[in-house]
Amino acid sequence: MTTGIYQHFRPEERILVDQLRDYIATAQVEYRPVVTPFANPRTRAIARILLGDDDSIGMWTDGGFDDAEWQRVVFAPDYFTPEPADYQVQLMGIKYPTKFAELHHSTILGTLVHQGIEREVFGDIETDGTRCRWPWMLV
């Protein structure tokens, strides 16, 4: 039987819960901002739950685009106000000859993932039919 905080989450989320707790603890103990890899909405919801009523640590998010599904999270002391550079995101993109090729979201996503790139390293892929771009995590 699972007890403690883990009982509120799926069993396969135990490692994620531990990692988020570590990020939050680092921000609390070291009084500095800590940025996560790109996080999906479920991960961000878990982070908010773990923060609970602790007003000493804030949580800010940015995905490189308005309304991005995948976003990086900054945990930091409440007096900290993150700047865009604090999220450590660089926009990547592809310009291609639309006369000869047609790239879709699924093509780009599949190519990145099948090259062994972890999904948490890049954010949402945005395409308008003539170019593709996505935020990339700087390390």
Condensed to tens digits (0 to 9), the pLDDT of residues 48-98 reads 999 998 889 999 999 998 889 999 999 999 999 999 999 999 999 988 887
CA distances from 42 to 13, 45, 127 (A): 10, 5, 24
**Which of 3.30.1370.160, 3.40.50.2300, 3.30.1240.10, 3.40.190.10 would CATH assign to domain 4-83?**
3.30.1370.160
Rounded CA separation 38/69 (Å)? 9
Among 115, 132, 33, 38, which Cα is nearest to 79's?
A: 33
34 conformational bin, left if phi > 0, alpha if psi -120 to 50, beta if neither: beta
Whole-model pTM above 0.85? yes
Structure tokens at 105: 């979201």
> Per-domain residue ranges for the chain?
4-83, 89-137
Identity of the residue numbered 121: V
Q: How deeply is 60 buried, as exposed, middle or buried, from its count of CB atoms within 10 A (0-12, 13-18, 19+)?
A: middle
Please name which of 33, 34, 79, 73 lies closest in space to residue 55, comparing C-alpha atoms: 79
Q: What is the share, in percent, of the chain residues with pLDDT greater than 70?
A: 97
